[in-house]
Structure 1
Amino acid sequence: MKKLLPSLLSLALLLGAAVCAQAQTAPTLTPPQAQQQLAKSGTVLLDVRTPAEFAAGHLRGARNVNFLSTDFADQVAKLDPTATYVLYCKSGNRSTQAGTLMLQKGFKNVVNAGGFEALKAGGLAAE
């Protein structure tokens, strides 16, 4: 029993860390859900792709905040942490990472809308 107790405690700590990590991930929306969220007043649409990707086409009304930029954290620090943010990128990977970072910085209302092409195919307007 004495040998089993440290193993059980380690397992409990690992499971607890996994639950905390999951709690820090922004929920993912389908394109229709993203469209509904964007229709709400005060929702900010963030495109976290590079400026070149943004210039090649982006969702109407999106603001570009490059996740790969060395000053991404500084750019996020200038945002209103009480606003609601819908994030997207090319595939959903960078927007997942950006959402996680924003939640860790104290933002409460951050959702991941996934990838640009899927959102366009789902009916969201692009420019």
Structure 2
Amino acid sequence: MKKLILLFSLLTVCFGKSYASRMDWVTSPDSVSFQNLSVSDFQKLLADTTVQLIDVRTPAEFEAGHIPHALNIDVKEVNFEKNIKTLDPSRPVAVYCRSGVRSRKAARKLAEKGFRVYNLDKGFLSWPKH
């Protein structure tokens, strides 16, 4: 527990952002990790203008509605890995899909490529309607 508190303190100092305070990191069996965030934490994260917001749903789903300023890169697209090469690996990436399943898949792939990744836990379905 002391190690978690120390890690939390270090993240808060390094990032200076409240979204770093939620320690809900998901680590797959191959030690690739990303952080799942609640809607409120995801909204706080998006206040950081360096964050790259990626909607990993299909273009049709994206056109039907998306979070403002999101870039659409369909995780099921054959060229997904090629398309993510356009992202800046020095900047954090926030991903979401409809319910959180596809975005977890995308988050793992992005984390494998060295990105710091944050996933909207329950997807666009949980996003407040405007």
TM-score past 0.5 threshold: yes
Gaps of 5+ in 1: 1-18
User: What is the number of residues matched between the two proteins?
Assistant: 103
Query: Which protein has the larger Cα radius of gyration, Structure 1 or Structure 2?
Result: 1
Q: SS at 1:37's partner residue?
A: helix
Aligned to 1:44: 52
Q: Match for 2:69 among 41, 61, 73?
A: 61
Please list every run of at least 4 consecutive aligned residues from structure 1 whose deviation after the TM superposition is greater than 2 angstroms: 19-23
Shift of 1:22: 6.8
**1:71-90 residue CA offsets vs partner (Å, 9 max, x unmatched):** 00000122111111110001
RMSD: 1.7
Q: SS at 1:74's partner residue?
A: helix
CA distance in 1, matches of 2:45, 2:109: 21
Is 1:112 paired with 2:82? no
CA distance in 2, matches of 1:91, 1:24: 21
Q: SS at 2:109's partner residue?
A: helix
Higher relative contact order (CA 8 A, sep 6+): 1
Shift of 1:24: 1.2
Counterpart residue type for residue 100 of structure 1: R
C-alpha change, 1:20 and 1:68, in structure 2 (3 Å) is closer
Q: What is the TM-score normalised by the length of structure 1?
A: 0.75
Query: Percent of counterpart pairs with the same letter?
Result: 35
Gaps of 5+ in 2: 1-26
Aligned to 1:28: 36
